[in-house]
Amino acid sequence: MASSSSSSWNLLRFLSAALMVSTAMAAVPRRPVNVPFGRNYMPTWAFDHIKYINGGSEIQLVLDKYTGTGFQSKGSYLFGHFSMKIKLPPGDTAGVVTAFYLSSTNNEHDEIDFEFLGNRTGQPPILQTNVFTGGKGDREQRIYLWFDPSQAYHTYSVLWNMYQIVFFVDDVPIRVFKNCKDLGVRFPFNQPMKIYSSLWNADDWATRGGLEKTNWANAPFIAQYQGFHVDGCQASVEAKFCATQGRMWWDQNEFRDLDAYQWRRLSWVRQKWTIYNYCTDRSRNPVMPPECKRDRDV
């Protein structure tokens, strides 16, 4: 999106947000409870680039020309609801990636990704999602957000059960990955995953395929976090199933599919804000991947 169109994008963003009706949804995941960082998480690298605020109820990740930083959950989980409140770095963030994801640790790993790809000033950042199953990814979808994610905190969530994985932005479903094992597609169900977040330099690919490089004159880049919510079945790395499977709230009937209103909101995201979907990329996938055939409106 060219700089000259940034004002049009801002107007569209404002109008679309204003038109969104805040109707209650029957199958919205439980509201996250704010907890301090240290209860469920710990730093993983570059400890001096993590800043703690208000006793750890808020943290900042700092990226400079020397290093980024990151953190991970203390436990591993099979299924549940996981969320973060994140405020992205402002301004010219080309080349900068802020990631929030779940991942198992073996070679044929499972992974559920939010990746925020920085952009030049005046151009909207891009939210990329991806799902790996059995070590296979290449399921990218990219959207523009209908707000400026650097101006305020917004909640990014994953609902994961035996039936589906749903990506939410402020309770709006932006992506669904259904369990399609009957179609020969692997689904994450027996590998516990830790939760990770990181802020790092990826200017070899993140913005326009690596054409736009990080401008270190704008450093340090700071991502801010609150609401370190974890509501999942904690498991050992050897676990093949969750001991509470079938008894938790996320296993109940209303969370096995989106309701009609949620499907309408997802359709709104796809029609107005999606800029790439691997399901419809015929140059990359001449035959539609099997899991896409079960996805509505593709």
| Active-site amino acid positions | 111, 115
Residue 223 structure tokens: 């991502």
- Please check whether residue 131 is in contact with residue 112, taking contact to mean a CB–CB distance below 8 angstroms: yes
Q: How many CB atoms lie within 10 A of CB 119?
A: 21
Residue 170 structure tokens: 């402020």
Residue 184 structure tokens: 């020969």
- Please check whether residue 177 is in contact with residue 292, taking contact to mean a CB–CB distance below 8 angstroms: no
**Sequence letter at residue 222:** I
**Sequence letter at residue 143:** I
Alpha-carbon span 270 to 207, nearest angstrom = 21
Q: Which of 164, 252, 196, 208 is nearest to 77 (CA)?
A: 196
Backbone torsions φ then ψ of 176, nearest 5 degrees? -130, 135
Alpha-carbon span 41 to 69, nearest angstrom = 14
Q: Residue 229: beta bridge partners? A: 83
> What's the chain's Rg over C-alpha atoms?
19
